[in-house]
């Protein structure tokens, strides 16, 4: 897997506000070569079955299966945050992050997926899924409070809605191994 990253941040302080803005852009190139079942797999129920050469399951890739894939996609994130000093004893952290990923593209035209397992009788060529990440807005809220006003005690808290992008590698491996008509 190759990952190329570009990011930038800007900071601006005005009166009681510390503003932060930034972006993070990743370009992924994930090359997948799956050798599982290329020579077949045999399973036996127990030792006597094995000794009598009576398998319960045999599985192998069909001749001509292509289990090599080269996917590329991007993840993009933008954020804005304000650390607002409401008073000498209270600071609020208010922010919003927007993140999404582009649709996975198999660069050699070997992408396909079973889109609707209930209704589809065959796979659909193209991207492995419909992109679900275009609505990933993540608000952030936090605070720092000095309850006694002496600078010796601080109560802090916060929360955020976070999204984990670019983590579908194992799903792509499974798709490379078992997506007819490219491999079966």
Report pLDDT digits (tens) over 108-137: 888 777 777 788 887 778 777 777 788 899
Q: What is the pLDDT of residue 24?
A: 95
pLDDT tens for residues 67-118?
A: 788 888 899 999 999 999 999 999 999 999 999 988 888 888 887 777 777 8
What are the two backbone dihedrals, phi and then psi, of residue 177, each rounded to the nearest 5 degrees? -85, -25
Residue 177: pLDDT over 80 = no
Report the alpha-carbon angle 130-134-136, nearest 5. Answer: 125
Q: What is the pTM of this model?
A: 0.72
What are the two backbone dihedrals, phi and then psi, of residue 22, each rounded to the nearest 5 degrees? -170, 175
Quick one: tokens of 168?
Answer: 């579908």
More confident: 176 or 62 = 62
CA proximity to 75, closest of 125, 141, 1: 1
Q: What is the pLDDT of residue 166?
A: 65
């Amino acid at each position: 897997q190759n990952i190329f990253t570009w990011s930038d941040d800007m900071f601006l302080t005005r009166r009681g506000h510390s503003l932060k803005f930034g972006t993070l852009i990743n370009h992924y190139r994930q090359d997948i070569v799956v050798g599982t079942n290329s020579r077949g797999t045999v399973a036996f129920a127990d030792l006597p079955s094995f000794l009598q050469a009576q398998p319960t399951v045999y599985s192998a890739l069909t001749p001509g299966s292509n289990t090599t894939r080269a996917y590329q996609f991007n993840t993009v994130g933008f954020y804005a945050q304000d650390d607002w000093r409401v008073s000498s004893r209270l600071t609020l952290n208010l922010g919003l992050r927007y993140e999404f990923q582009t649709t996975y593209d198999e660069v050699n035209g070997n992408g396909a997926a079973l889109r609707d397992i209930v209704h589809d009788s065959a796979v659909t060529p193209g991207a492995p899924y419909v992109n679900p990440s275009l609505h990933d807005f993540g608000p952030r809220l936090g605070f720092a409070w000095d309850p006694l006003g002496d600078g010796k005690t601080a109560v802090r808290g916060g929360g955020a809605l976070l999204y984990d992008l670019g983590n579908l590698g194992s799903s792509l491996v499974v798709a490379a191994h078992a997506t007819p008509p490219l491999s079966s």
